[in-house]
Amino acid sequence: MQNDHAELFVRIERIAKAVEVEERRQGVRSLGYDPDHFRPPQRRPVWGGDWVQCLDDQELDIALRPLGRSRLPARLFFDLARGMTTSSEALQLLHSRLECSRRVFAPVHCRHHWLLAIFELTEEGTLRARLLDSAPSPCVWRDVQRLLYELEPEMLIVHNRAPRQGRGTFECGLFVVANCVATLLNAHWWYAIDEVSLAELRVPPGKMWGAAVTVINRLERTEGGAHECAMTHGEIVAVLAQLGPQSVVGIRLASTIAIVLKCCCPS
């Protein structure tokens, strides 16, 4: 019975994507597609997720869809660690994304845990990875650094401060989404927080981005106070472009207006 449900889910997903492609070809604005409405009764356990609460790679890819080509597939480093892809293939993909964006966001899965790597090129052309981890562990960092050095032996690896998740909360995937949003919005107050719950992000993956925007903006008022936004006009436009169609990522128009006001007119 479970296999029948899984096959049905795959068929519905393919049909929905085909409809969305056809709508875009004809110039019709799509209402979006939320695969959680057709989720089979039992989730698959691998590529990041478990049978209970952790996000899997597909859910993270949907949640981070607003980043467009500024992100790497969530399962990439899982596959790299298990020899299912080569370091040269992964590095080629990373550089192709860096040609389109000055920084690339990559969910990294290691030891049943998600963390975020942000890849950039320094002025000297050296590849740099900034790691943001909601539950730092020496074992995880050791394995992640090994993977990154396998990708590029001369890579600069920096461990950035980031908010921590509560013990036993299974929110590491949610923090990956929130850290992406905070980085794009230059939300420096977010990184000053010691520990926070992201239970509000327990929504369908297509709506996580909008939920993260709401939570981080609210935390600014309670944790960080007023701030200055260092974003240029071009970066503001880029952020809004990356948010995508409102119906797809679940962000209300009011939230978008709030972002513009926050960037242009800091309180």
Looking at the fold, whether 85 and 184 belong to one and the same domain comes out as yes
- Using CA atoms, how far apart are residues 54 and 266, in angstroms rounded to an integer? 35
Predicted pLDDT at 226: 39
19 and 80 within one domain: no
Residue 3 and residue 65 share a domain? no
Look up residue 267 and give its amino acid: S
Same domain for 51 and 159, yes or no, is yes
Residues 69 and 122 in one domain: yes
Q: What CATH number is given to the structural domain containing 242? A: 3.40.395
Give me 255's structure tokens: 């939230």
My answer on whether 165 and 176 are in the same domain is: yes
Q: What is the DSSP letter of 195?
A: B
Tell me: do 87 and 4 sit in the same domain.
no
Q: Using alpha carbons only, what angle is made at residue 132 by residues 134 and 171, rounded to the nearest 5 degrees?
A: 30
Please indicate, yes or no, whether residues 82 and 27 belong to a single structural domain of this protein: no
Closest CA to 256 of 267, 247, 266, 243: 243
Query: Which domain does 8 fall in, by range?
Result: 1-42
CB 37 within 8 Å of CB 180? no
Instruction: Report the pLDDT value the prediction gives residue 41, as an integer from 0 to 100.
Output: 40
Do 24 and 79 lie in a common domain?
A: no
| Gap between the Cα atoms of 70 and 66, Å rounded | 9
- Counting as low any pLDDT under 50, the low residues of the chain are 2, 28-46, 51, 224-233, 236, 244-267
Q: Which two tokens stand for residue 123?
A: 């002025």
At 255 the pLDDT is 45
Residues 206 and 84 in one domain: yes
Note whether 107 and 61 are same-domain residues.
Answer: yes
Distance between CA atoms of 27 and 40, rounded to whole angstroms?
A: 32
CB atoms within 10 A of CB 3: 8
Give the residue among 146, 174, 143, 180 at the shortest CA–CA distance from 160. 180
pLDDT of residue 36: 44
pLDDT tens column, 182-235:
999 988 889 889 999 999 999 999 999 999 999 998 887 665 443 434 444 455
28 and 154 in a single domain? The answer is no
pLDDT of 83 reads 87
Q: What is the number of domains present in the chain? A: 2
Q: What is the token pair recorded at 7?
A: 């096959």
What are 114's strand-pairing partners? 109
Which pair of structure tokens corresponds to residue 189?
A: 């107050």
